[in-house]
């Protein structure tokens, strides 16, 4: 087991056009959990890796209820297909591996409000 670290993306203050963008410092590890602390009004929250080939980690549309998420991604076989299953039907999922920055993007928000995001990472 590696060392756990908390990355706080704060504050992501929403601009007049309803958007905000914040990056983490470089991360190398597995994303274990994400906590989103929304403002009073709804907005869209996206977290993507920013390491060349982007991974969509989480995409939350029109929400304003604080929550904790445990994002997972399907495991692929050596041919690149998401066909690894437990029983021929249920896909195997695992934590996201990140080796670079994580990009927080806010859209359709209310100007002046702020979104707080915490990312818990098991680092290598």
Residue 32: pLDDT above 90? yes
Question: What's the Cα-to-Cα distance from 70 to each of 27, 33, 79, 111, 113, rounded to whole Å?
Answer: 17, 5, 27, 28, 25
Residue 62: pLDDT above 90? no
pLDDT for residue 82: 80
pLDDT for residue 77: 87
* pTM of the predicted model as reported, rounded to 2 decimal places: 0.89
Q: Any idea where the domains of the chain sit in the sequence?
A: 3-123
Residue 96 tokens, joined:
């996201």
Query: 121 near 101, Cβ under 8 Å?
Result: no
Please state which CATH number belongs to domain 3-123: 2.60.120.380
């Amino acid at each position: 087991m590696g060392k756990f670290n908390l990355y706080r993306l704060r504050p992501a203050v929403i601009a007049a056009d309803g958007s905000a963008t914040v990056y983490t410092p470089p991360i190398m590890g597995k994303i274990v959990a994400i906590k989103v602390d929304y403002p009073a009004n709804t907005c869209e929250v996206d977290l993507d890796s920013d390491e060349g080939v982007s991974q969509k980690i989480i995409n939350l549309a029109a929400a304003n209820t604080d929550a904790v998420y445990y994002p997972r991604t399907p495991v692929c076989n050596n041919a690149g297909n998401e066909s690894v299953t437990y029983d021929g039907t249920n896909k195997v999922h695992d934590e996201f591996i990140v080796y670079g920055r994580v990009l927080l993007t806010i859209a359709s928000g209310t100007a002046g409000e702020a979104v707080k995001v915490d990312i818990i990472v098991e680092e290598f």
